[in-house]
Structure 1
């Protein structure tokens, strides 16, 4: 066997050697002047240019990930601020009338909603707020039996029967809404937030903030209802 055959290296051996000696080309810069790597476009580029291209791609990916994390942080901050405003609005209310008024205002300003409906399921016939209380056996509640049973917010386009029960004459204007059940030991009810925009409340929306919203509002309603007893 000739000396040339004995010393010949295959591709895997060369690759393995370079992996073990990543600084090889720093000591053999003259080789870079003669080496070319095929570019996807068909042009030949130097190893350094190829490496720079990979670094730029990796850097851009990392920058995109960082921007995505920043956007998420901003959205979370905005959601936290909206919930803070809602909490303050509920705490400032000294009556159910005040609570409904404050709720409508803060939802319109901070949550960009067009319609708000509250239904408290309780056998109270007289109230200064029209249609606030609903008898437990009211026929219209059958359209919300699954929502109340599952005790989970539901987003999307309401059925016509649901919209009419919640929003009355404005039912046809509601293109999407979030229906939040308020199911507590001392209170059963529904909170509905409607919009003229079909995409404002869609079925894939997360329920965490909506659930927290119903808990804040429901807890305050329980406290204010004691004044009616």
Structure 2
């Protein structure tokens, strides 16, 4: 009796004839397991001398397209997960804002608690004042800006500015500005009877924020903050 080849674990090894016989007995195997095709080598079709085998070229191209689609799929999945994480963080931040039990607690929540909730390094608030206004109001993390400073920074009438690879501005971030390497400024329109303000988000990393970043969630948080401040100060819309 001829010796039978065995695999490393001692079980009889499959021969090429065994595989061929199995595939003949199960003609739908590759249709049920299409991923196996990615590892197979397709033999060139013999069509005579001087005839180009287009089937092999088409299969190669299809495999390359499948690889690209898989890469795009993974990017979309990763982006979706990141967006979901950001959305969850903003929702928690919104709940913290509306649950503040006093105006002072609200300011403390925004400037001291939201950075941890939103995974950013610095958050500050600033309002435009008059020419003789003090440089800083007696609340940590809130600064007074010169008249016209917000339009100068964001652009007249613009709602936000996003920048990467920068040095932060002391007017918005105070003494921590030297640590800010990317930032977002979002205009606060609290009331028609009061000057505009700004909520400033700063990061130590130059790539955290940038001009192409989506701002919908930050705008949502800002609108909630505007309404909450207006309610605490009993201001008109």
Same fold, TM-score > 0.5, yes or no: yes
| 1:84-122 CA-partner distances (Å, limit 9, x unpaired) | 111111111121222222223443223322222112447
What stretches of structure 2 of length at least 5 have no aligned partner? 1-43
Q: Secondary structure at the match of 1:57?
A: helix
Q: So what's the TM-score if we normalise by structure 1?
A: 0.65
Partner of 1:164: 170
- In the alignment, does 2:190 pair up with 1:180? no
| 1:50-106 CA-partner distances (Å, limit 9, x unpaired) | 332122122112222322322232232122112211111111112122222222344
Equivalent residue in structure 2 for 1:91, among 77, 98, 111: 98
> By percentage of residues, which structure has more helix?
1
Instruction: Report the Cα distance in structure 2 between the residues aligned to 1:216 and 1:36, rounded to whole angstroms.
Output: 74
Please list, as runs of the form range in 1=range in 2, the aligned pairs for 1:56-205 lying within 5 A after superposition: 56-121=63-128, 129-130=139-140, 132=142, 134=144, 140-146=146-152, 147=154, 149-156=156-163, 163-186=169-192, 188-205=196-213
| 1:127-181 CA-partner distances (Å, limit 9, x unpaired) | 76247474xxx6x243322437324111226998x82222222232222221111
8 Å CA contact 1:152–1:207 kept in 2: the answer is: no
8 Å CA contact 2:126–2:142 kept in 1: the answer is: yes
Superposition deviation, residue 196 in structure 1: 2.1
Instruction: Report the Cα distance in structure 2 between the residues aligned to 1:75 and 1:36, rounded to whole angstroms.
Output: 55
Instruction: Report the Cα distance in structure 2 between the residues aligned to 1:86 and 1:101, rounded to whole angstroms.
Output: 13
Change (3 A) 1:217 1:63: same
- Bigger CA drift: 88-97 or 196-205? 196-205
Instruction: Report the Cα distance in structure 1 between the residues aligned to 2:124 and 2:206, rounded to whole angstroms.
Output: 18
Number of residue pairs aligned between Structure 1 and Structure 2: 186
Partner of 1:32: 45
Q: Secondary structure at the match of 1:32?
A: coil
8 Å CA contact 2:186–2:222 kept in 1: the answer is: yes
Change (3 A) 1:34 1:130: closer
* Stretches (4+) displaced over 6 A: 122-127, 157-160
What stretches of structure 1 of length at least 5 have no aligned partner? 1-30, 39-43
